[in-house]
Structures are given as C-alpha cells and as structure tokens.
Amino acid sequence: MTILLLIAGVIFVGCIATAVVAAYRSDIDGAGREVASLLALLVVLLVIGYGVQSAVFG
C-alpha cells in the first residue's frame, strides 16, 4: 500500500511540475505565473509535511 501511495505522489508531483513549466513557458500573464508558483510551493510543503509525519509517527 505504501508503494502505491508513493507512486501516486510521484505522478501527482510530476503533473504539478509539468503544469508549472508549461505556465512559465507560455505567454500567460504574471497572475498565472504567481498561481503556478503558489501551487508548486503548496506541493513542496505537502511533501515536507508528509515526510515529517512519517518520521514522527512511523
């Protein structure tokens, strides 16, 4: 089960990263880039939080 969650997490992060790269490479305005940056930051915080939770609670 843990392996499936890990794979799903990698796929999710990959999708978000792809969206962020697409946002920066396209001709969208600054607001779109800011939203993409916030999404990337949210994903990083979720990953860090999950790592801390795993370390603390096993």
pLDDT digit string (tens) for 9-39?
787 877 777 777 777 776 666 666 777 777 7
Note the pLDDT of residue 38: 77
One-letter amino acid for residue 26 of the chain? S
Domain that holds residue 26: 2-57
Note the pLDDT of residue 26: 66
Region 41-53 average pLDDT: 82
Domain count of the fold of the chain: 1
- The size of the chain, in residues, is 58
Q: In the predicted model, is pLDDT for residue 55 greater than 70? A: yes
Sign of the C-alpha dihedral computed for residues 50, 52, 53 and 57 taken in this order: positive
CA distance 16 to 40: 7
Q: How far is CA 20 from CA 11, 15, 25, 30, 42, in A?
A: 14, 9, 9, 13, 12
pTM of the predicted protein model: 0.47
Region 2-8 average pLDDT: 77
